[in-house]
Amino acid sequence: MWVDLAVIGVKLVFGLVVLLTTVPIMVWVERRGSALIQDRLGPNRVGPFGLFQPVIDVVKLLTKEIITPAGVKPLLYILAPVIAIVVALSTFIAIPIGKDTGLEVFGHAVHGLIVAPDLNIGLLYIFAISSLAVYSVLLAGWSSDNKYALLGGIRASAQAISYELAMTISIVGVLMSAGSLHLQQIVDAQGGVWMGVLPHWNIFPQFIGAITFIVAVFAETNRLPFDLPEADSELVAGYHTEYSSIRFAAFYMSEYLHMTVASALITVLFLGGWNLPWIDMPFDGWPGALLSMAVFATKVAMLLWFFVWVRWTLPRFRYDQLMALGWKVMIPLAVLNFLWVGVAMALGYM
Amino acid sequence: MDAVAVPYTWVLALSAVLFAIGTMGVLLRRNGIAIFLSLEIMLNSANLAFAAFAFRFASGHATAAAALDGQVFIFFVIAVAAAEAAVGLALFILLQRRKGSIDVDRANILRW
Amino acid sequence: MISIVFLVAAAIAVIFAVLTVVPRNPTTNLLSLVVMFFAMAAIFAILGMDFLAAIQIIVYSGAILVLFLFVIMLLNIRRVEAFGSGRAIQALLGTLVAAGIGGIVLVIAGLLRPVAGGVLPGVVNTGTAIPIGRALLSSHLFAFEFITLLLVAAIVGAFYLGKREEE
């Protein structure tokens, strides 16, 4: 039993380290990528190609003065960024980052490259934990004793709970075609070829569901075009207006962590996880595990770039347009996808 | 997986304690929202009682259907609690608008 | 070992339930209730009901209590009573009623035979999504459809009750 716990501990530490390392990388990608899209240079002074810019940013954020406004409610004010980070970091334990090639370490089986291999309700657990992210936004907005923060908080949480519905309904098609809530099995069901031509990734048969899910995930992570809650030109800084220094760094980090987890989730559910496009994973043991991790990392990296790309290309939605889109367009489309998958499964196409 | 070493009577006892706490909250608080929260505690304790019995019956082939019935019932209780919360909060909003306060001691006079 | 985890979860549930009931400002009560629901989800998971644990967090903590928090924030509900401001006879009677109800259930629980239930090897695990889904759509189909109707009625009712009157 202790060896099992040690294996889980090592996987957990590895996952946390990788997840926390993507944050500075994403900060750099965001700033250089936005510069590329906007036809300017971006940070290029601090290191080669500005690679040390995130480090300098962190130092700046940590050495700023921590200003706590006078009228805040102390417990809630401190709790909000804590909830944001904890929620963002807790979801990755159910996401498989590579193939379960029967690896063994000192004679004990490493049950697949997933921190919690026995969690039968994997996907439901992820939705449960990410539905708690609403609390951090709401509590931050309300405890800040600032009308812009309150407006931003209310808008952000209304947006989050509206798009949560579209998000959950759009993955029901994936669950139906895979027959399980366990993400490892959802990825396993996406190997090989579909209809002889396309890879069997869920994005091809269920493209409506995929598009709905990706849009809903953009809304859940408060990324443009859905970032009205933290719109700089409209709400000062939205729900994190009154947070300074390390507390703001916590919110900033939690946004990138949510983005990374969301990209990993899109990869697992719709882009075939660690499956190569048409062929099955050719190797077993350690080479197979490493290759599958590399494939997974490539797909997640492409999706993270997609997040940055969309942010600097599209304008922002107005609040009423956003809510109308969520309730009147996304939910019917998701239900349509659900019907389509049911019909296709009954007719034998999936 | 081995049998889980929790006697189901402990779970029932916990359900009793939580129900008592919830009842005290409903009877002793004047804030409408707090009464509602205590009501949710009571509903949860009822769910726990169902869970205790479903757990007790989950270990035999013949009685596994009863375990499933218990869990389905918990599911329905959660759904009903959601519906009740929505309508109840709408009523509280109306109370706040009419009386100006959510204090239930102020809502003790009928219209005529 | 599972018993220790259960006892910890039970202790957390009781402590935070008491914190919910004690008169403090409404947001503190609500957050204590969120923690209590977490402890309840943990207890469901210990008893082998994974699906219900996830549903408890998604529906109760993640939706119903967010609704409560919205109402508290939008109506700016403050603390209405201070601790110990009620009448003594009310507190006494309330405690007696609660103790009575709780006591009856405790006595019944003590009289039952303490069988350590659970999932023995070879028995189908009934706590995951597939058996519950099958049961909902086969033997409990009428109740399932009726709950759908109930939820629609609740949505329409809440909307109608919350509408501002035309001046």
Give the separation between CA B12 and CA A282, rounded to whole angstroms: 53
Q: What is the mean predicted confidence (pLDDT) over C23-43?
A: 91
| Average pLDDT score over residue span A245-262 | 88
C118·B4 Cβ contact <8 A: yes
- Dump pLDDT digits (tens) for C132-151: 888 888 888 999 999 999 99
Which string of DSSP letters, residue by residue, matches A142-177? HHT--HHHHHHHHHHHHHHHHHHHHHHHHTHHHHHH
**The amino acid at C61:** S
For the cut 50, the answer to whether the pLDDT of residue A182 exceeds it is yes
Q: Which residues of B touch C75 (CB under 8 A)?
A: 92-93, 96, 102
**Residues A284, A101 contacting (CB under 8 angstroms):** yes
The reply to whether residue B9 touches residue C112, judged by beta carbons under 8 angstroms, is yes
* Distance in Å, alpha carbon of C114 to nearest chain A alpha carbon: 28
Confidence of residue A264 (pLDDT cuts 50, 70, 90): very high
Residue C123, C-beta contacts closer than 8 angstroms, at least 6 positions apart? B58, B59, B60, B61, B64
Q: Which of C54, C41, C35, C42 is nearest to C2 (CA)?
A: C42
The average confidence (pLDDT) of chain C is 83
Q: What is the mean pLDDT of residues C59-82?
A: 85
Using the Cβ of C117 and the Cβ atoms of chain B, whether some distance falls under 8 Å is answered with: yes
Q: Which residues pair with B31 in a beta bridge?
A: B103
Tell me what pLDDT residue A1 has.
Answer: 73
Query: Rounded to two decimals, what is the model's pTM?
Result: 0.89
Q: Which residues pair with A105 in a beta bridge?
A: A108
The more confidently predicted of residues B1 and C67 is C67
What does the pLDDT average to over C42-46?
89
Helix (H, G, I), strand (E, B) or coil at C162: helix
Both tokens of B56, joined, read 């007790």
Contact criterion met (CB < 8 Å) for C60 and B8: no
C-alpha A171/C-alpha A269 separation (Å) is: 8
Q: What is the mean pLDDT of residues A285-310?
A: 88
The alpha-carbon gap from B42 to the nearest alpha carbon of chain C, in Å, equals 10
Residue C2: name the closest of B4, B55, B59, B3 by CA: B4
Q: Which of C28, C50, C62 sits opposite A131 (nearest CB)?
A: C62
pLDDT of C86 strictly over 70: no
**What are the pLDDT digits (tens) for A200-224?**
888 888 889 999 999 999 988 888 7
| A193-194 and A198-199 beta bridge pairing | antiparallel
Q: Supply the pLDDT for residue C97.
A: 83
* Inter-chain CB pairs, B–C, below 8 Å: 278
Query: Any idea which residue has 């919110």 for tokens?
Result: A251
Q: Is the pLDDT of residue A295 over 70?
A: yes
- What residue ranges define each of the domains in chain B, with the CATH number in brackets? 8-107 (1.10.287.3510)
Cβ neighbors of B102 (< 8 A, separation 6 or more) are B31, B32, B33, B92, B95, B96, C75, C77, C80
Q: How many domains is chain A built from?
A: 1
For B:16-45, CB contacts with C below 8 A are: 16-25, 27-31, 33-34, 36-38, 40-41, 44
- pLDDT tens for each residue of chain B, 112 residues long: 455 667 788 888 899 999 999 988 888 888 888 999 999 999 999 999 999 888 887 766 666 777 788 889 999 999 999 999 999 999 888 888 887 777 777 777 766 5
| pLDDT for res A45 | 83
pLDDT value at C113 more than 70: no
Share of chain A above pLDDT 90, in %: 21
Cis peptide before A81 (omega within 30 of 0): no
pLDDT of the residue at C124: 58
pLDDT at residue C118 is higher than 60: no
**Amino acid sitting at position A11:** K
Residue A132's domain spans which residues? Answer: 2-347
Decide if the complex's ipTM is over 0.95.
no
Q: Are A129 and C61 in contact (CB under 8 A)?
A: no
Asked whether the predicted pLDDT for residue A233 surpasses 60, the reply is no
CB pairs under 8 A between A and C: 57
CA C57/CA B86 separation, integer angstroms: 17
The answer to whether the beta carbons of residues A133 and A87 sit under 8 Å apart is yes
Q: What angle do CA A219, A223, A228 make, to 5 degrees?
A: 80
- Count helices and strands (H / E) in chain A: 13, 4
Higher model confidence: residue A274 or residue B38?
B38
pLDDT tier, C23 (very low <50, low <70, confident <90, very high otherwise): confident
Which range is most confident: A233-247, A271-285, C9-23? C9-23
Q: Which of A245, A240, A252, A253 is nearest to A64 (CA)?
A: A245
Task: Give the mutation candidate from C3, C16, C38, C40 for the B interface (greatest B CB count, under 10 A).
Answer: C40
Contact A75/C28, CB-based, under 8 Å?
Answer: yes
Q: Determine the pLDDT at residue C19.
A: 92
pLDDT band per the 50, 70, 90 thresholds, residue A306: very high
Give the other-Cβ count within 10 Å of A6's Cβ.
13
The whole-angstrom separation of Cα A260 and Cα A30 is: 13
Rounded to an integer, what distance in angstroms lies between the CA atom of residue A350 and that of residue C13? 45
pLDDT value for A215: 92
Find tokens 């009863």 and name the residue.
B66
Q: Which residues of C touch A169 (CB under 8 A)?
A: none
Contact A295, A275 (CB under 8 A): yes
DSSP string spanning A306-343?
Answer: HHHHHHTTSPPPPHHHHHHIIIIIIHHHHHHHHHHHHH
Judged by a CB distance cut-off of 8 A, whether residue C143 touches chain B is yes
3-class secondary structure, C23: coil
Record: contact C150-B80, CB cut-off 8 A = yes
| Reported confidence tier of residue A235, pLDDT bands at 50, 70, 90 | low
Residues 6+ apart with CB under 8 A from C9: C39, C42, C43, C46
Helix (H) or strand (E) holding A193: strand A193-194
Q: Is the pLDDT of residue C40 over 90?
A: yes
pLDDT at residue B1, rounded to an integer: 42
pLDDT digits (tens, 9 = 90+) for A42-59: 888 888 888 888 888 888
* pLDDT tens per residue, range A325-345: 989 999 999 999 999 999 988
Q: How far is C23 from chain A (nearest CA, A)?
A: 17
Whether residue B67 lies within 8 A of chain C, CB to CB, comes out as yes
Average pLDDT score over residue span A115-144: 86
More confident residue, A194 or A291: A291
Residues of chain A found within 8 Å of residue C128, distances taken between Cβ atoms: 120-121, 181
* CA distance to partner chain C, nearest, from residue A124 (Å): 6
Q: Is C68 on the interface with A (CB under 8 A)?
A: no
Identify the closest residue of chain C to B33 by CA–CA distance.
Answer: C26
Average pLDDT over residues C43-66: 90
- Scored b (16 or more CB within 10 A) or e, C133-157 reads eebbeeebeebbeebeebeeebeee
